[in-house]
């Protein structure tokens, strides 16, 4: 017994458990990824980094290139054709992505899987980073508990095996905050340079990382204020402003250098950008350029001929700000967002709180709340006792960045997915590690162990049950079967279930199939034969199927206020494919 206790207390035991937790997560992501077709945004992300590094054509400029460079590593090994003479790349990234995946000399399964595997490795890296920060605050058992929660969370599993920027920005945003906290605790050139590089890499991952600028300014101000004592001579008060300007200069310099390097030190002008001429927002962009030119007292031609460093980065940042502020202008007038039975062009302030409550496991919500309560009680006790460490630097870095990010999400007009909230989750997982430590005002040492074990036991069934359909997960308040009634788009249907649909149709071989499914990948890419779904219920003398995905079923617009297929809305589907595709079977007559 004594040897057993010694073995458990050994760091190698917790490290072995950590490795096991992350390996199980990897296996679950792999077995899910191989049965899922490319999601809507993957068609842009899969070829973009590969093509840009080869020939300088950036297929989709609405996101920075760092993740795309990472996932292009296996593509350079396989060497797929990048179709340099095909102009479709700047006319439609959807069409180019389909051609890149399904008309290539390399198999489509390899082109999709191995870049996804690179994202899975990044996901494991995020799990390791969560462990490190939680261990520093709550010990190795706190770190292991935080990482285990991360590995079981369905939304992490869903996006951790897709070639999209959502999990990547969660990693980058969290990692930049972690490195900034380490610099504040142990200021020095090594920690400053690491923090500046982390910040720059976050800017190259996804544009919401710019929110780290106000977040770090707020944290810096709070730290300087708490370290400054008016009644005493404190050297930190004198050093604070000088240290701030040195750090700020380092951050700016490193960020500029890395952004320029990531975009191959390019200088381009608007007149050289063929995508601007063919984009769906081209008219709006041209009007804005003319307005700016007029206000500056120059011409439209002079503005568009001016060569800009890191053009694609600034272009993407401008487009994303425009998209976030005016979703109704970004899409055509027939695009409506859906939530809780309502439709809107510009979304709702309550969308993301609702998505957070419905898409996060209930047990995890309880653990987050419990950790917050324990944290507040501990803070009040330390404050009452006059502890100067009431506002620790890393505590501020755990609180300010996710709170600011969530607050900005409330103002966004893009209400098309819970995935936009992923950057706040790693912070919550670390905070949940508080549950494993001694509780304030509670003397029973078994209480932390009891709640930690019960929390994990309650999360496991839902996490296992939803496999491999993690993207369509909803907690037990509504369940994945009914989730589509509350939220749509990438919460349920991102075009990810076409492979499963093909397998089903090959097995059933129905004589007639009417189909309308959402996504950039089309059924014909997989060799599925179908007819378009008619507006009214067809009459037939033979058995037939109607296949409609959630986003198409819920779609309503000005021309069709009752929906595309109102005759299907009140009918229960015969079968559901991965919760996102509904199949209706009709008998003859």
The whole-number average pLDDT for the span 417-434 is 97
For the chain, first and last CA: distance in Å? 74
pLDDT band for position 162 (50/70/90)? very high
Q: Which structure tokens are listed for 509?
A: 């071989």
Task: Give 548-557 pLDDT, tens digit per residue.
Answer: 999 999 998 8
Q: Which residues make beta-bridge pairs with 487?
A: 339
Phi, psi for 476 (deg, rounded to 5): -70, -5
Task: Give 120-137 pLDDT, tens digit per residue.
Answer: 999 999 999 999 999 999
Number of other CB atoms surrounding residue 338 within 10 Å: 23
d(CA 44, CA 61): 9
d(CA 106, CA 166): 27
d(CA 193, CA 183): 9
Q: Which carries the bigger pLDDT value, residue 143 or residue 223?
A: 143
Any alpha helices (H) in 466-565, and if so which ranges? 498-508, 550-554
How many residues are recorded in the chain?
589
**pTM attached to this predicted model:** 0.93
Q: Which carries the bigger pLDDT value, residue 287 or residue 489?
A: 489
Task: Give 270-302 pLDDT, tens digit per residue.
Answer: 777 777 766 655 666 777 777 777 887 888 777
d(CA 429, CA 399): 12
Task: Give 61-113 pLDDT, tens digit per residue.
Answer: 889 999 999 999 999 999 999 998 888 877 788 889 999 999 999 999 999 99
Locate tokens 């309880």: which residue?
366
Locate tokens 């492979």: which residue?
499
Check residue 390 and give its pLDDT. Answer: 44
Q: 186, 217, 225: which is closest to 391 by C-alpha?
A: 225
Check residue 234 and give its pLDDT. Answer: 54
Q: 466, 431, 471, 401: which is closest to 160 by C-alpha?
A: 471
Domain boundaries, the chain: 6-259+351-465, 489-586
Mean pLDDT (the chain, rounded): 89
Residue % of the chain over a pLDDT of 90: 64
Q: Give the single-character DSSP code of 38.
A: P
The whole-number average pLDDT for the span 214-224 is 91
Q: 248, 196, 186: which is closest to 220 by C-alpha?
A: 248
């Amino acid at each position: 017994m004594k040897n057993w206790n010694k073995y458990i207390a050994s760091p190698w035991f917790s490290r072995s458990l950590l490795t096991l937790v992350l390996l199980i997560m990897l296996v679950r992501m792999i077995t899910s990824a191989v049965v899922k077709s490319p999601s809507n945004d993957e068609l842009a992300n899969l070829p973009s980094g590969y093509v840009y590094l080869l020939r300088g054509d950036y297929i989709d400029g609405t996101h920075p290139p760092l993740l795309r460079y990472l996932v292009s590593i296996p593509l350079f090994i396989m060497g797929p054709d990048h179709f340099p003479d095909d102009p479709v790349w700047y006319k439609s990234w959807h069409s180019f992505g389909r051609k890149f995946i399904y008309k290539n000399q390399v198999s489509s399964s390899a082109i999709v899987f191995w870049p996804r595997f690179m994202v899975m490795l990044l996901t494991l890296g995020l799990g390791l980073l969560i462990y490190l920060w939680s261990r520093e605050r709550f010990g190795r058992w706190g770190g292991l508990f935080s990482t285990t929660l991360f590995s079981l969370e369905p939304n992490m599993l869903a996006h951790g095996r897709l070639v999209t920027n959502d999990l990547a920005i969660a990693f980058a945003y969290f990692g930049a905050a972690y490195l900034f906290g380490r610099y504040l605790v142990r200021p020095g050139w090594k920690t400053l340079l690491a923090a500046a590089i982390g910040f720059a890499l976050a800017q190259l991952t996804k544009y919401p990382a710019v929110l780290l600028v106000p977040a770090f300014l707020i944290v810096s101000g709070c730290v300087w204020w708490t370290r400054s004592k008016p009644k005493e001579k404190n050297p930190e008060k004198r050093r604070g402003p000088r240290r701030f300007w040195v750090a700020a200069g380092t951050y700016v310099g490193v960020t500029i250098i890395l952004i320029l390097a990531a975009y191959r030190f390019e200088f381009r002008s608007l007149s050289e950008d063929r995508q601007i001429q063919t984009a769906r927002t081209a008219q709006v962009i041209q009007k804005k350029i003319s307005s700016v030119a007029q206000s500056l007292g120059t011409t439209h031609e002079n503005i568009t001929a001016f060569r800009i460093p890191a053009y694609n980065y600034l272009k993407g940042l401008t487009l994303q700000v425009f998209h976030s502020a005016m979703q109704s202008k970004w899409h055509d007038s027939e695009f409506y967002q859906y939530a809780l039975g309502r439709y809107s062009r510009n979304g709702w302030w309550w969308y993301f709180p609702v998505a957070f409550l419905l898409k996060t496991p209930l047990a995890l919500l309880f653990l987050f709340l419990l950790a917050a309560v324990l944290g507040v009680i501990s803070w009040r006790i330390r404050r009452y006792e006059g502890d100067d460490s009431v506002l620790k630097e890393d505590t501020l870095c755990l609180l300010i960045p996710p709170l600011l990010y969530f607050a900005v999400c409330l103002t966004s007009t893009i209400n098309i997915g819970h995935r936009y909230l992923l950057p706040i989750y790693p912070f919550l997982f670390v905070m949940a590690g508080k549950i494993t430590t001694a509780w304030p005002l509670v003397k029973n040492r078994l209480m932390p162990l009891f709640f930690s074990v019960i929390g994990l036991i309650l999360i496991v069934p839902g996490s296992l049950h939803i496999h491999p359909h993690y993207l369509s997960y909803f907690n037990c308040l509504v369940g994945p079967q009914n989730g589509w009634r509350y939220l749509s788009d990438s919460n349920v249907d991102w075009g990810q279930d076409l492979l499963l649909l093909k397998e089903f149709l090959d097995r059933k071989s129905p004589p007639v199939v009417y189909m309308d499914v959402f996504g950039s990948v089309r059924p014909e890419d997989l060799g599925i034969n179908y007819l378009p779904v008619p507006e009214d219920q067809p009459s037939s003398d033979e058995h037939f199927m109607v296949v409609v995905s959630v986003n198409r079923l819920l779609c309503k617009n000005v021309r069709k206020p009752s929906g595309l297929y109102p005759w299907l809305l009140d009918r229960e589907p015969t079968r559901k494919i991965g919760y996102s595709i509904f199949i209706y079977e009709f008998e003859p007559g």
